[in-house]
Amino acid sequence: MNYLEFDGVGFGYSEQAPILSQVNLTIGQGERLLILGANGSGKSTLGLLAAGVLRPTRGRLIVGECGRSIRRGIVFQNSRSQMVGASVQEDLAFGLTVLNRPAKEIREKVERYLEMFGLASKRDYGVQQLSGGELRRLALASVLITEPDLIVLDEPLAMLDQANQDRVLEILASLIPKETAVIWLDHDLRSVRHLPTRYILTPDGCVRPVTLDMLNSKEFLAEYGLRPAPLQALEWKYPHLIKNAILGPKAVEVNSHA
């Protein structure tokens, strides 16, 4: 089943150059997509369109299939900007309240998600009292508690230290149901190791498939305004010594016999 279809979608503000011009993309049930793009390329705009926050100014965005609508959610790069509750547990309850869930279900589900996301001891904290890692976990929990069919992740590892990145990755791997579609937006090339299907936003506002070989090209990255991954420049200089730099330091292979 197709959850979302971009059919020649464009977006722009009046009297300004369009941000997106001709996006053609289909996201099906359970699909996990990575969309790479330089800062300012329109990634966040694409995410807001996918989540239903914005509407296209050209083309069609087809939601659901065969008369079945879908529920969508988005986790912003700046998690603090999407907090609406005065406390952690109020923020978790908000989405369920909007969906008119029974009070008993809300209480039980909030309690379960507080435990699942390691936030039980922070239930009465104001969101301004949370660390960056706790805020990101709360943002994820507040979206996932509504059981969306499709979730948009806007640079979900940005501004997190390694320990919190690992914790967020564990949540994404274990707590998102297999049938949920995921769109991960990022400028960091190392995110390619987390999703098998990869696209790139082009300078003219379109989306095209991209391969690891393309992303390992110095010329390609320069054309699309993407920064190389750490150690990638070393791999280009010493290809007989270093491999898989694009996947991050943990995946780098060093040929000690060369």
Q: Are strands 20-28 and 150-154 parallel, antiparallel or unpaired?
A: unpaired
Helix, strand or coil, per DSSP, at residue 250 = helix
Residue 256: which pLDDT band, with cuts at 50, 70 and 90?
A: low
By DSSP bridging, strand 2-11 and strand 20-28 are antiparallel
The answer, yes or no, to whether residue 82 has pLDDT greater than 90, is no
Element (H, E) at 243: strand 242-243
Query: Region 47-55: what's the mean pLDDT?
Result: 96
Dist CA 240 CA 228 (whole Å): 18
Mean pLDDT along residues 93-99: 94
- Residues 7 and 61: their CA atoms lie apart, in Å, by 6
The whole-angstrom distance between residue 165's C-alpha and the CA centroid of its chain comes to 13
Which pLDDT value is given to residue 258?
54
Determine contact, residues 87/124, Cβ cutoff 8 Å.
yes
155, 139 in Cβ contact below 8 A? no
Residues 6+ positions from 240 with CB-CB distance below 8 Å: 255, 258
Q: How far apart (Å, rounded) are the C-alpha atoms in residues 138 and 59?
A: 34
Q: Is 247's pLDDT higher than 90?
A: no
**For residue 157, is pLDDT > 80?**
yes
pLDDT at 21: 92
In order of their start, the domains of the chain are: 1-71+148-226 (3.40.50.300), 87-147 (no CATH), 228-258 (no CATH)
